[in-house]
Amino acid sequence: MQVYRVGGAVRDKLLGIESKDVDWVVTGSTPEEMISDGYRPIGKDFPVFLHPASRQEYALARTERKISRGYAGFSFNTDSGITIEQDLARRDLTINAIAQDEQGNIIDPFNGQQDVKDRVLRHVSDAFVEDPV
């Protein structure tokens, strides 16, 4: 099991801003393993769990596939083999598609750090343009 801080919390840290909302993604685990480790399931549409000590939300890494129109028209895959890079690919903007592992290493497959520095907003993929939030 590998835990990553992702999204806006990483972006805000790069900007020197304190983030009140921290998102966590877990790779290499299953819902059963999370429960066995003391996490409490709370997600309805995909596996999200409350950490046993911090009570923060931890989501299993996932990929998404559009299956119908609208906000809810997605199919999710939360297989334990999904990588952090695959999870980051489903995000809206490159500045939100950055992760930080437990050792402090930055995972940035879409050059979001440079976009933060340049103050540029770029979509991770054309999928966001096709179906914006």
pLDDT tens-digit readout, 63-98: 987 777 766 667 788 899 999 999 999 999 999 999
pTM of full prediction above 0.75: yes
pLDDT tens-digit readout, 11-31: 999 999 998 889 999 999 999
Q: What is the pLDDT of residue 133?
A: 55
Are 27 and 2 a contacting pair, CB within 8 Å?
yes
Count of Cβ atoms closer than 10 Å to residue 89 Cβ: 16
> Which residues are 103's β-sheet partners?
none
Domains of the chain plus CATH, in order, are 2-130 (3.30.460.10)
Q: What is the pLDDT of residue 21?
A: 85
